[in-house]
Amino acid sequence: MIERLSVVTSHQGLFEITDKINWAVNKSGMFEGLCTVFVRHTSCSLTIQENADPSARRDLEHWLNRLVPENDPLYTHTFEGPDDMPAHIKASLTAASLSIPFSQSQLLLGTWQGIYLWEHRHQNSTREVVVHMQE
């Protein structure tokens, strides 16, 4: 079964989507299986990360921004702004898809784990996430 979800982002950063993915798994009616989450864009990504302390997410965001800075003079893909090429690089370094097992119609995430869409652009965006559940 496949569900398509929209995720609205208002800025660069990590946006938790765990509840949306759990909703899709629960809606499927499947009891046990594998959930694959895929983002259909080249300037954002997905990650599983700590969902308890927001400082962990802020530190990740700051670290990746230092690793892949904007306005690097070596970039030639600059038509869409100074955050566009860094967004593509960040998406390449992270993940476009995740696989999470589920049982009793609930994701088998750890206690402090959450699923995040990682927006790498500064602008408002609506991102499409595809959730595929298989028993």
| Residue 57 amino acid letter | R
Share of the chain above pLDDT 70, in %: 100
Provide the pLDDT for residue 22: 97
pLDDT score of 31:
96
With H, G, I as helix, E, B as strand and everything else as coil, classify residue 23.
helix
Nearest to 17 by CA among 82, 72, 79, 98: 98
Question: What percentage of the chain's residues is helix, strand, coil (to nearest 5)?
Answer: 25, 40, 35
Where residue 91 falls among pLDDT bands split at 50, 70, 90? Answer: very high
Q: How confident is the model at residue 129 (pLDDT cuts 50, 70, 90)?
A: very high
User: What stretches of 8-94 show up as alpha helix (H) in DSSP?
Assistant: 18-28, 54-67, 84-93
31 CB burial (10 A radius; 0-12, 13-18, 19+): exposed
Rounded to two decimals, what is the model's pTM? 0.95
pLDDT band for position 112 (cuts 50, 70, 90): very high
Is the CATH code 2.60.120.460 the one for domain 2-134? yes
Predicted local distance difference test score (pLDDT) of residue 41: 98
| Average of per-residue pLDDT across 56-79 | 96
* Domain edges within the chain: 2-134
* pLDDT-above-90 percentage for the chain: 99
User: What is the predicted pLDDT for the residue at 17?
Assistant: 98
C-alpha span between 92 and 110 (Å, rounded): 25
* pLDDT at res. 75: 97
Cα 91–Cα 93–Cα 98 angle in degrees, nearest 5 = 70
